[in-house]
A and B are shown apart, each in its own frame.
Chain A
Amino acid sequence: MTPGPIPPVTREDVFPEPNLRFGRLPQYSRVGLAAVAFALRDAGMEQWKTKRFAGLVASTRAGCLATDIEYYNTVLPEGGGPPSPNLFSSTLPSCFLGEAAIQFGLTGPTLIVNDPAEDALSGVRMALESLSWGECGTMLAGHIDLPAGPAIPGIRPPWTGGLFMVLENGRDSIANGYGTIDLSGGGAVRHNGNRIAGLNELVRACLAFRRPS
């Protein structure tokens, strides 16, 4: 993830087939749903027939502030029309997780964690906790942020975009996976036993593990 704006995400970028919901979603939800879709696709878990008890957790700093601005523009008198119910239903930072749950049949806990820390690892940390506590066997964990833009000056998350990874308990998937992620006793995220300082570093470590030598 990098600072600054990201390009618009279209349905064709994510789903090869027409999708009833994607086009109605604001950019924040599109980015989040796309990241979940790509993670599941990479893990071979995108297709499903029966709902699965897998959870979703993502960290964020600014949340869906960009959607809040878009919605509130319809509330302000100069917006010129009635407030948008479609946009309002996306003004909770967790709603895109609901979209992902519907799209992919995921019935585990879904939550957003607002964390001022710059490491963007709270979602991963919470997912690892949930796995260790036996709350779920599979968790999708990540981070999402978009810049608020000029409407609310001064709010610039250090990282923008959406990033998810599929975390599973057990060792069965190690051969085809990206290594082992766990928590130290003090709560630090580790990859293959090495302490990780931020989400980008974690992704780099995962990709380096997967890359053929």
Chain B
Amino acid sequence: MEERRSGLNEVLITATASVTGLGPDLDTTWRRLLAGETAVRPIRRFDTGRYPARNASWIEGLESRGDRSLLFPILERLLDGFAPLPPGCRLVTATTKGCIDTFERVRKGLPGDVADIPVSGPLAWLASRLGLGDPGVNISCACASSTIAVARAAAMIASGRADAVVVVCMDLVSEFILSGFSSLQALDPAGCRPFDRNRNGLSIGEGGAALLMMSAEKAHGNGIRGIGSVVGWGAANDATHVTAPARDGCGLIQAVRLAMAKASIGPDAISAINAHGTGTVYNDAMEVTAFESVFGPRRIPLNSLKGAIGHTMGAAGGIEVAVGLRSLAERTLPPTAGFGEPMERCGFRVSPLPQPIEGRYMLSTNSGFGGINAALVLKGNPG
């Protein structure tokens, strides 16, 4: 039976896929996440000798065709065997830097297809690959890009502006990105350790996610039950600093409260939190402050995937939705790789081991440069 809140369509996620440093598909990534493994390891794609941190979570065996970006083989892996799209499906993508390796090649005087450099390049490729007439749009909101893309797709479906949206999230490890975070002294040479007392920065990562979202009416009409639902979403800017989060977590608090209000649930309904958890001193402290403000003393299970798959930037939120829905289905929150000793003043249950989830709602959040914060409330299907 379709659930309607305030006249809005219920938003189902009917298919998921992911490619990460841990594996070419969601099953492999999930299995290795549960085992507490990490894909953060020395970079071999380019010379890292001038940078103190030389690790990232990168995808093994990517080969470019001709002079084209490594983004395309990631997308090929992602979409190989992906669910068929219904007629009229819209495309929303999320990336921060798209074919940044092509940009680097061109600037070094090496061959590269200049048409791939603007995001319109991968957008057109995806539309063609997926057989969509509309090239779609890309959402760019720093490290919250894919969370906001999912929120946007959910709002389109909830309002009736679209029946189905495929969200494709992607970003690459590149020297451009590594050098930048290195210049900000934001990288942990030992690999990132989210919510750990000794955390010292992030590890970059690459990957992609594809999420097929549909109205419940459309899905059920096609005999599709769905993996889970996006029941709440919210975004807010902390208006404080371009590269550092607001210490009081004001933007994240607002985004989480908006998402829970949209979901018509209170804090007690949230069973687990998939945090942004970059492993930087200030991000993780900000998140704990914000979650404490919203959830009080409840010791909710909380994790971050970034110790395992790195910070995949524009792909992070999409991968986290795919993994989050699997977590709700399996009633298990994956470990936080890299976590050893709890950080100060963190009352949430962070663990290097899998944790059980009791309940159906998960909060997933991301925050990024420019002060943006975004939150989703995911609902699992009953087992």
Contacts and interface: CB of A to CB of B under 8 A. Distances in A.
A213 B210 CA distance: 53
B372 A98 contact: yes
A94 B123 CA distance: 18
Contacts of A116: 118, 120, 123-124, 135
B370 A152 contact: no
Interface string B179-204: 11111110000000000000000000
Interface residues of B, number: 56
A133 B155 contact: yes
Contacts of B374: 109
B119 A102 contact: no
A132 B236 CA distance: 17
Contacts of B96: 92
Contacts of B141: 94, 110-112
A151 interface: yes
Contact of B180 (A83, A113, A155): A83
A37 interface: no
A61 interface: yes
Contact of B120 (A61, A72, A105): A61
The size class of the interface chain A forms with chain B is 35 or more
Contacts of B239: 51, 101-102, 105-107
A93 B161 contact: no
A99 interface: yes
B44 interface: no
B123, B182, B369 interface centre (most CB from chain A within 10 Å) = B369
B355 interface: no
B122 to A, nearest CB: 10
Contact of A98 (B107, B148, B176, B371): B371
Interface in B85-139: 96-97, 103-104, 106-108, 114-115, 117-120, 123-124, 135, 137-139
Most buried by B among A111, A113, A126: A111
A61 B118 contact: yes
Given A108-B236, A116-B124, A94 B372 contact: yes
B140 A111 contact: yes
B184 A89 contact: yes
A72 B104 contact: yes
B251 A107 contact: yes
Given A75-B175, A89-B242, A109 B114 contact: no
B81 to A, nearest CB: 27
B332 interface: no
A63 B180 CA distance: 18
A91 B185 CA distance: 16
A195 B117 CA distance: 32
Which of A51, A91, A92 gathers most chain B CB within 10 Å? A92
A97 B251 CA distance: 15
Contact of A101 (B117, B124, B370): B370
Interface hub of B97, B117, B124 (most chain A Cβ within 10 A): B117
Nearest to A153: B114
A110 B372 contact: yes
Interface string A114-136: 11100000100010010011010
Contacts of B107: 69, 72-73, 76, 151-152
B155 A155 contact: no
Contacts of A82: 183
B119 A95 contact: no
A73 B106 CA distance: 12
Contacts of A94: 140-142, 368-370, 372
B57 interface: no
12 contacts: A63-B119, A69-B107, A73-B107, A85-B180, A92-B369, A101-B237, A109-B148, A113-B139, A114-B120, A116-B118, A129-B159, A133-B155
Interface of B: 96-97, 103-104, 106-108, 114-115, 117-120, 123-124, 135, 137-142, 148, 152, 155-156, 158-159, 161, 175-176, 179-185, 235-243, 250-251, 254, 368-372, 374
Given A88-B180, A89-B243, A94-B142, 6 more contacts: A68-B176, A92-B369, A107-B238, A109-B235, A110-B370, A133-B158
